[in-house]
Amino acid sequence: MDTLDRLLAYEEIRQLASHYAVHVDSRDLDALVELFVDDVQVGRDAFGRDALKASFREALLVPGIMVLNVGTHAIDLVDDDHATGIVYCKGEVQQGDRWIHQLVVYTDRYARRDGRWYFVRRRHELVYGADVGQNPLPLPPADWPLNEVGRGTLPERWETWQAFQASREA
């Protein structure tokens, strides 16, 4: 790879991690699974984006609101079409009435297919999870920008969030 191709690869791979966080937070499962290779392995015996979507759906039924903040992202290009990476992610997660801080490290493998980078595998490893002193969810509306303390409008405003929540009740 020449310098420009390497720089483009780094940026495209960084965008995968950022889009992953946004799609998880907004519960946009269709967009989320499109970040992965079409023949992604899910568990030991399942393959493909449909299986991955079902797995994500199951995993995301328990937590409520999530905010994933991607931090350190170290990428190693193996060759023109393969790379590995380590991504640190600070999460805030609603678990019923609890509000939890988490530090997660993702160990990733990436592949470029037809000129586009995808996740091949994403391994989620928890460094810690801890309760926050005050659960922000019962706060009154913040009415931003007049007051920055209180509840905001996301993720409930996102259409994908609304659809995911509606499907839980169906």
**Contact of 108 with 123, CB cutoff 8 Å:** yes
Range of the domain at 77: 3-136
By the 8 A CB rule, do 131 and 99 touch?
Answer: yes
SS3 at position 76: strand
Q: How many domains does the chain have?
A: 1
d(CA 26, CA 163): 10
**Structural domain includes residue 59:** yes
What CATH number does the domain containing 132 carry?
Answer: 3.10.450.50
Please indicate, yes or no, if residue 149 is contained in any of the structural domains: no
Residue 145 covered by a domain: no
Give the CA radius of gyration of the chain: 18
The answer as to whether 64 is a domain residue is yes
Q: Is the pLDDT of residue 42 over 90?
A: yes
Residue 120 lies in a domain: yes
Domain contains 109? yes
Q: Residue 167: inside a domain, yes or no?
A: no
Question: Is pTM, for the whole model, over 0.85?
Answer: yes
Instruction: Let me know: does 92 contact 99? Beta carbons within 8 Å.
Output: yes
Q: What is the pLDDT of residues 77-98, one digit of tens each?
A: 999 999 999 999 999 999 988 9
More confident of the two residues 140 and 52: 52
170: pLDDT strictly greater than 80 = no
Q: Flag whether 70 is in a domain.
A: yes
